[in-house]
Amino acid sequence: MIRSAKFYLRTSFNFFVLRFHSVLFRLKGLLSGYYIGPGLVLYARGNIDIGASVVIHSRASISVVENATLRIGAHSRIGSDAVISCASQVTLGDEVLVAARCYIADYSHEYRNPNLAVLRQGRSVPEPVFIGSGTWLGINVCVLPGVTLGKNCVVAAGSVVTKSFPDHSVIGGVPARLLKSLAPDTGNEAR
């Protein structure tokens, strides 16, 4: 009985600390020129660098462990219920559009020991994630460790991105594959 009371108190305290950090983070955002919607769940032991005019919509979840760095470029938008989990480095360029319920992480859970619960095996070795400026992640997209997306990419809704793609790629599927490449505007066309 005493053990469960200690667990309850520790869990309640941790919840209070997370909520308090979230409120401070939202206040800092107001003072720094970015907006954080209500219900943010924030676990931030590492560095978070957010550019000007960033909007993080309601109920997003951001986790940055100690010695890790999350960078969100200026004018980016993070949709509601999105999850960004960082154990090493996650970078979103400027004007990145992340739709609702997207998942971006630079690590996964270890699962190689069949005799041990996944929960007890810890996390995998982190691999940095980079999402280039101007890229759009459709609703429910999952970006896995080690992925680099170039500038101005489009990722179809529900895709699971397991490998890197160059600038101007349109990708989709599970796992995501190249659907087509968009030629960049050379500026020579008459308008």
User: Which residues, 6 or more positions from 22, have their beta carbon under 8 angstroms from its beta carbon?
Assistant: 36, 40, 41, 42
Residue from 57, 75, 109, 168 carrying the catalytic annotation: 109
Helix (H, G, I), strand (E, B) or coil at 180: strand
The Cα–Cα gap between 90 and 131 comes to 8
The Cα–Cα gap between 120 and 118 comes to 5
Residue type, 25: F
Q: Can you name the residues that pair with 178 across neighbouring β-strands? A: 171
Question: Tokens 């109920």 identify what position?
Answer: 59
Question: Tokens 């990722």 identify what position?
Answer: 155
21 is catalytic: no
Which amino acids are annotated catalytic?
109
